[in-house]
């Protein structure tokens, strides 16, 4: 988890300049339509991930951050549009860190201090996109059909790998279910044939040994006789 | 990227960066491994899915039925 101490938004989305001192606390943004409430959420998402899901979701036509991230008055100056977050990372003993990201270099944030654990914490946030839920997404979840809602949650949490494995395992299970009766029949037939051949009452270890050992003894005796006769020049065909 | 060298350091340090999917799959394979008769399959599946990142049916089948030709 990352707690935000301060946000500095400059020429980003609908915001020209905004500094918020959140002190690591929860906050709510309220105001009339078009005053930049969603812009704050976009800025936090952009600072942590380099992208804005509202621009890339379904129905947006895949707008680019570079073209639509900067304020309209700085559209041609993506280097001027930036977001800086001062954060506390509780998992690292309340370590303080800063991430600064410009629209021009959205894939290359400046992280201070550039310690491995701090970078890992920011990467971890990047891998959990569920930290941003826009109003549109919330409404979509509320209104969606139950089956579809599960898919929306899967997409949000990037659970597609689990779905891929589930589908493959289900396919293998279905195939095994189809093959199983045939194998069970073959096993039953083999057991029956073995019991008949051995003239054994049941297929237990002792019953099989009791049936097999006398035959092995006879066979060994037969081989001895056969070997002796072959040595004496009596052809094998005599015993067939 | 100004942090590229430190990101490499983080990877080398084995920093615990996992997705929700990876966490769930790890727990699934851990549970599977607790069953003595499935522990070998759990190991094979973990390697195929998490280490190699392969989800194709032939690879999963090979992990589950290593003796099948």
| A141 or A184: which leads in pLDDT | A184
Count of CB atoms within 10 A of residue A186's CB?
A: 10
Looking at chain B, which residue has its C-alpha nearest residue A106?
B1
| A153 or A206: which leads in pLDDT | A206
Taking CB atoms and an 8 Å limit, are A160 and B15 in contact across chains?
Answer: no
Contact assessment for residue A172 and residue B32, using Cβ atoms and an 8 Å cutoff = no
Segment A156-184, tens digit of pLDDT: 777 888 889 999 999 999 999 999 999 99
Q: Which of B8, B11, B12, B17 to mutate to test the interface with A (most CBs of A within 10 A)?
A: B17
Is this prediction's ipTM beyond 0.85?
Answer: no
Would you say how long chain B is, in residues? Answer: 69
- Angstrom distance (rounded) from CA A227 to CA A111: 87
Inter-axis angle of helices A116-126 and B4-12, to 10 degrees? 90
Q: What is the distance between the terminal CA atoms of chain A, rounded to a whole angstrom?
A: 84
Cα torsion at A200, A201, A207, A212 (round to 10°)? 0
Of B20, B56, B64, the CB nearest to A128: B20
- Angstrom distance (rounded) from CA A136 to CA A132: 11
The answer on pLDDT for A38 being more than 70 is yes
- Angstrom distance (rounded) from CA A239 to CA A221: 13
Cis link prior to A113 (omega < 30° from 0)?
yes
Between chain A and chain B, the number of residue pairs with CB atoms below 8 A apart is 83
Which residues, at least 6 apart from A137, have a Cβ–Cβ distance to it below 8 Å? A53, A57, A156
Segment B9-21, tens digit of pLDDT: 444 333 444 677 8
Q: What is the pLDDT of residue A99?
A: 95
Q: Give the pair of three-digit tokens for residue B41.
A: 């399959």
Q: Which residues of B touch A124 (CB under 8 A)?
A: 16-18
Q: Give the pair of three-digit tokens for residue A52.
A: 């804005």
- Angstrom distance (rounded) from CA A61 to CA B13: 40
The answer on pLDDT for B7 being more than 60 is no
- Angstrom distance (rounded) from CA B60 to CA B46: 10
The answer on pLDDT for A91 being more than 90 is no
Mean pLDDT, rounded, for A40-56: 84
Contact assessment for residue B63 and residue B29, using Cβ atoms and an 8 Å cutoff = no
Contact assessment for residue A130 and residue A156, using Cβ atoms and an 8 Å cutoff = yes
* E strand or H helix at A120: helix A116-126
Of B15, B19, B55, the CB nearest to A164: B55
Taking CB atoms and an 8 Å limit, are A162 and B19 in contact across chains?
Answer: no
Which residues, at least 6 apart from A217, have a Cβ–Cβ distance to it below 8 Å? none
Taking CB atoms and an 8 Å limit, are A162 and B24 in contact across chains?
Answer: yes
Q: What is the pLDDT of residue B11?
A: 40
């Amino acid at each position: 988890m990352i707690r935000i101490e301060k946000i500095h938004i400059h020429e980003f989305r609908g915001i020209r300049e905004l500094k918020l001192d959140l002190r690591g606390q929860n906050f709510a943004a309220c105001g009339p339509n078009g005053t930049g409430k969603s812009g704050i959420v976009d800025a936090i998402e952009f600072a942590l991930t380099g992208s804005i899901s509202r621009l890339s979701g379904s129905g947006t036509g895949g707008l680019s951050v570079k073209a639509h991230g900067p304020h309209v008055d700085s559209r041609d100056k993506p280097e001027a549009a930036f977001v800086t977050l001062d954060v506390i990372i509780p998992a690292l003993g309340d370590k303080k860190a800063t991430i600064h990201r410009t629209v021009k270099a959205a894939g290359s944030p400046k992280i201070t201090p550039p310690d491995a654990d701090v970078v890992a914490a920011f990467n971890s946030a990047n891998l959990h996109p569920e930290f941003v839920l826009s109003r549109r997404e919330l409404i979509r979840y509320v209104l969606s059909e139950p089956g579809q809602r599960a898919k929306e949650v899967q997409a949000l949490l990037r659970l597609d790998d689990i779905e891929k494995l589930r589908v493959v395992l289900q396919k293998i299970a279905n195939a095994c279910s189809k093959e199983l009766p045939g194998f069970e029949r073959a096993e039953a037939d083999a057991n029956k044939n073995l019991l008949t051949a051995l003239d054994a009452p049941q297929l237990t270890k002792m019953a099989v040994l009791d049936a097999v050992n006398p035959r092995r003894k006879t066979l060994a005796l037969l081989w001895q006789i056969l070997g002796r006769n072959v040595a004496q020049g009596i052809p094998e065909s005599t015993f067939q | 990227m100004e942090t590229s060298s430190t990101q490499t350091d983080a990877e080398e340090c084995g920093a615990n960066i996992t997705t929700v999917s990876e966490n769930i799959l790890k727990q699934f394979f851990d549970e599977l491994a607790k069953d003595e008769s499935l522990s070998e399959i759990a190991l094979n599946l973990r390697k195929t899915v998490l280490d190699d990142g392969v989800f194709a049916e032939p690879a999963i089948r090979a992990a589950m039925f290593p003796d099948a030709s």
